[in-house]
Structure 1
Amino acid sequence: MNKLAQETSPYLLQHKDNPVDWFPWGDEALNKAQTEDKPIILSIGYSSCHWCHVMEHECFEDFEVAEIMNHYFVCIKLDREERPDIDAIYMDALQNMGLRGGWPLNVFLMPDTKPFYGGTYFPKKNWINLLLSVVNSFKTQREKLQESADGFARSLNIKDSEKYFFGQEIQEIAFSGDEINQILNKIQESYDTIDGGMKRSPKFPMPTIWKMLLDAIAYFPNEKHINQLKLTIERIILGGIFDHISGGWCRYSTDDKWKIPHFEKMLYDNGQLLSLTARANLYFKENIGFKQLTDWALSSTVAWLEHEMSSAVGGFFAALDADSEGEEGKYYVWEEKEIKEALAEKSDYFIQTYKVTAQGNWEENKNILHLENYPENFPTLVESHKILKNKLLNRVRPGLDNKILCGWNALVLNGLVETLRFTDVVFPIDIVKNGFEFFENNFMVKHGDLLRLKHQAGHKDNLAFLEDYSSTIAAFINYYQYCFEEKYLNYSLQLTDYLIDNFYDDSENLFYFTDKNAEKLIARKKEIFDNVIPSSNSMMAHNLNLLGRIFEKESFLEISETMFKKVKPLLIQDPQWLSNWVALGMYFSAQKHDIVVVGPDYKNILKELQKARFLPNAIFFGTNQTSNLPAFEGRLLNDNQTRIYICIDKTCLLPLTNLNEAIEILKQ
């Protein structure tokens, strides 16, 4: 048993019995490297990573490999989900070396933690050859290695304004019509118009891109983009990437048709896909088939979160592994005979609809369940899903990563809140209430700062990252527009003030990923490009824009606009990887709605107004009591009548008392 036995991360604990003398990242390992003058192997992964498991089995469980690693190196294992700051630094370093990134990420460092070489997955023979080559180079070419490592460390510290040519003077913050067309046409070049998503394999859902597109067509309708959005959402629900039996989306599809998933399920994907699907459910609400399909996906995913991903102490777990009993996907796939036995007389329709065969569409005559089209008799299938779900109780479940991560929990709460705000899907509100109470009691600490994670065993007090703050602030703003408790807006304000004091770089008008009080590493990075999770800077620019509007704080609006101006020239060239910035630009370019309801029936009226039309640039306010929010100034009349105020671009219509009149105005 090595030093990882005292850790709480499921990923690190998976390696505690390896013959490799693993250390967690920390002073003990780093001091050992300096004292013994040994290079460091930094091996980074996460618990649900299939190829991390493969490399562990082939290399790190092997005594021959372990002997070489232990003799010549200080070996450090890192959970990238606990320390995304370290992961980002060394992933950038690998890419600066001209090498392909991914996980497992294995990087060789000098004793001072500067990187000089690395890679991802290596089979045993290749890994041994690489180890011996590095050992030889460290002995015979030490100066060259150090020179190379120093160079990579310098490259990691190049300012983003120099790296991406920021700083051009942009006067106009709103997109012109030509710029909108240019952005959407650029994205359209990659459309897979047959199977949805983008033309690539493997296929990731990339909800940020499709949320941006939905925001864009809400204000600038275009039939091609509307059709592509609808097709994409349908395919990622009908395809095998969605778990038709238990609910929830897998991380990505290994093929280009969404049929064959990589079976791991990540919390952050499901939170964002809930949000995207809920928004699309409202936008396409007149399409009965689409609404039924998305209602089913939303309700089954919420049930999966409630029953499989919820902690007894509160909060949501991080991930489910792709593997069970040593096989990828074993928990999720079916033999034809199993379905016949379970469903009896209902099996014929199910087998015909899902095209289940004795030969299977997966390994060892197994079938991955996916649909080609929305079936006519869908309720019959749903009843069969319930029967098969009970059969899963007899199977060995995939490994659970029980980390409770601040930012990922915020993404899920955001998705749950938007499901409540925008759809008719019904689920226990306590899931959401308890989630936000858990935040208040566990992640929020004094002075406005946050913690990154809570384990089942209790707190591990490492400071949160910009990703955590940005996601949390967004969730609080969203939740206010459902519960209308102003404390959540005040929390957002408190956290934002802390960020500006401790994360903001006013020389580049962007936020660092790490707190100025955090551990000092070889670089302090800023996250700009959107990926499977929107970049923390783009999320924060959105938050500042919203909070600036809510509290009428010009300083917040100025920071948001300045951040956007920095990135605007870049996003017009490469909108796919800056799609959340594009969404912000759409907000700057579209009408802004402020909808204020005051009086005894404000909650019921706001519930209806939010479902009247998809208005992504609207902020909804409501109260029946005294408030300091600027939106309520002069509007609290205490006459027991409920009034509706609709303001468009800071011009307010006369107050209304009739809900239907207000709905008709919003639909115009």
Structure 2
Amino acid sequence: MHKQSVFSFISQLIWVYILLFSAVSFSQKLTSGFKHTNALINETSPYLLQHAHNLVNWQPWSEAAFEQAKSQNKLVIVSIGYSSCHWCHVMEEETFSQEDVAQVMNENFINIKVDREERPDVDQVYMTAVQLIQGRVGWPLNVIVLPNGKPLYGGTYQTKTDWIKLLNSLSKTYKEQPEKTTEFANRIAAGIQEKNEFGTEKGSVFFSKELLNTNITTLKENWDLTYGGLKGQQKFMLPANINFLLDYVILSNDAQAKKYIKLSLNNMALRGVYDHVEGGFFRYSVDTKWQLPHFEKMLYDNAQLLSVYANAYKVFKNPLYKERIEETYQFLNTIFKSKKR
């Protein structure tokens, strides 16, 4: 071997050693100072990395995780969230970081964490399941599924005590009555399939004025005529509903609907659910009066609300709506905009 070749070979070995040493050092920095590190440490998602030091043996979504569940005959916990989700952080701190919770989860379940921004397909399937089971959805989305992936139970945030109680109950039922749990999961899967196929048949779509009036009547029964929005302890702005009603009042000139839309939009624009400092709308109000917001802003909410207030301004010519459009657009185009672009 020539001296030059030998020198080149040695140089390459040195670089390989440096790279390996750097990788080991980086890995040690990530794991040092923590009591436990799970398989999420190898992921790139900020949300998954937030759970990399939970005592729960989280795994990323993979076929291998479900194969493990089949071989060990265990139910699977699929917990879905995203990095800016408030209640995801609360449950991570108060539940998933606790030793007694981790013991129940690790002994009886295969545990999978999913970032909904990485896997919207997984999120969509299980969100539909939870909608069928609970009638409402949110995040963290916690779904207990069979080893074949079919959902058995689904819900959102739960306290540590309620979560342990639920897991013990489901694990016991699955071990003692596997046929019952499989039958129930099959019914949920059939419901998801039916919902996905609904309205996909070819041919004309049935629509009538009577059907429209029936749906409007149903909506009106749930209207909060004092503060706007829908009746309930929390208030979501539901921009798609308001845009639908704006189209409806143009066609029908329904005075009650017009009054309700203005009441809702005015309170949303003037009260605490709107950020009067930076601009933009918070995700929802935790009270019935739109005063106390959940301090989280989402791009999809604000983008839709721009459309809502623009359409409302065309109908009602209220200068307040134009002002909120301009402020929200400015907020999205500055604070929300990536500095890399």
TM-score surpassing 0.5? yes
- Separation in 2 of the partners of 1:11 and 1:48? 8
- Separation in 2 of the partners of 1:179 and 1:135? 45
Give the aligned residue type for 1:86: V
Residue 259 (structure 2) aligns with: 227
3-state SS, counterpart of residue 126 of structure 1: helix
Q: Deviations over 1:636-659 (max 9, x none)?
A: xxxxxxxxxxxxxxxxxxxxxxxx
Alignment of 1:385-424 (within 5 A): none
Give the aligned residue type for 1:266: M
- How many residue pairs end up in the alignment? 305
Residue 71 (structure 1) aligns with: 107
Q: Of the candidates 77, 83, 86, which is equivalent to residue 122 of structure 2? A: 86
- Separation in 2 of the partners of 1:200 and 1:127? 25
Moved more, 6-15 or 202-211: 6-15
- Separation in 1 of the partners of 2:270 and 2:297? 17
Alignment of 1:339-354 (within 5 A): none
- Separation in 2 of the partners of 1:150 and 1:223? 47
Shift of 1:284: 2.6
Q: Is the 8 A contact 2:80 2:123 kept in 1?
A: yes
Shift of 1:93: 3.1
Alignment of 1:563-578 (within 5 A): none
Residue 25 (structure 1) aligns with: 61
Residue 87 (structure 2) aligns with: 51
Q: Deviations over 1:12-52 (max 9, x none)?
A: 22212212121111223223223433321111223333322
3-state SS, counterpart of residue 80 of structure 2: strand
Q: Is the 8 A contact 2:87 2:157 kept in 1?
A: yes
Tell me if 1:284 matches 2:316. Answer: yes
Q: CA distance change for structure 1 residues 276 and 98 in 2, over 3 Å: closer, same or farther? A: closer
Alignment of 1:77-476 (within 5 A): 77-97=113-133, 101-158=137-194, 175-176=208-209, 181-285=213-317, 290-291=318-319, 293-314=320-341
Alignment of 1:597-612 (within 5 A): none
Alignment of 1:557-568 (within 5 A): none
Shift of 1:182: 4.7
Q: Is the 8 A contact 2:94 2:160 kept in 1?
A: yes
3-state SS, counterpart of residue 147 of structure 2: coil
Give the aligned residue type for 2:340: V
Give the aligned residue type for 2:315: Y
Q: Is the 8 A contact 1:40 1:108 kept in 2?
A: yes
Give the aligned residue type for 2:282: C
3-state SS, counterpart of residue 245 of structure 2: helix
Q: Deviations over 1:193-234 (max 9, x none)?
A: 332223333111111111122223334433333232222211
- Separation in 2 of the partners of 1:118 and 1:235? 33
Residue 15 (structure 1) aligns with: 51
Shift of 1:265: 0.9
3-state SS, counterpart of residue 230 of structure 2: coil
TM-score, normalized by length of structure 2?
Answer: 0.78
Q: Deviations over 1:547-597 (max 9, x none)?
A: xxxxxxxxxxxxxxxxxxxxxxxxxxxxxxxxxxxxxxxxxxxxxxxxxxx
- Identity %, equivalent residues: 43
In structure 1, the gaps of 5 or more residues are 315-668
Q: Is the 8 A contact 1:93 1:152 kept in 2?
A: yes
Q: Is the 8 A contact 1:99 1:119 kept in 2?
A: no
- Relative contact order, higher structure (CA 8 A, sep 6+): 1
Q: Deviations over 1:33-87 (max 9, x none)?
A: 2343332111122333332222211221112322332233211011234333323
Measured on the aligned residues, the alpha-carbon RMSD in Å equals 2.9
- Separation in 1 of the partners of 2:227 and 2:104? 48
TM-score, normalized by length of structure 1?
Answer: 0.42
Residue 11 (structure 2) aligns with: none
Q: CA distance change for structure 1 residues 27 and 208 in 2, over 3 Å: closer, same or farther? A: same
3-state SS, counterpart of residue 53 of structure 2: coil
3-state SS, counterpart of residue 199 of structure 1: coil
Give the aligned residue type for 2:264: T
3-state SS, counterpart of residue 244 of structure 1: coil
- Separation in 1 of the partners of 2:39 and 2:187? 32
- Separation in 2 of the partners of 1:9 and 1:217? 45
3-state SS, counterpart of residue 226 of structure 2: coil
Q: Deviations over 1:317-346 (max 9, x none)?
A: xxxxxxxxxxxxxxxxxxxxxxxxxxxxxx
Give the aligned residue type for 1:282: K
Shift of 1:275: 0.9
In structure 2, the gaps of 5 or more residues are 1-36
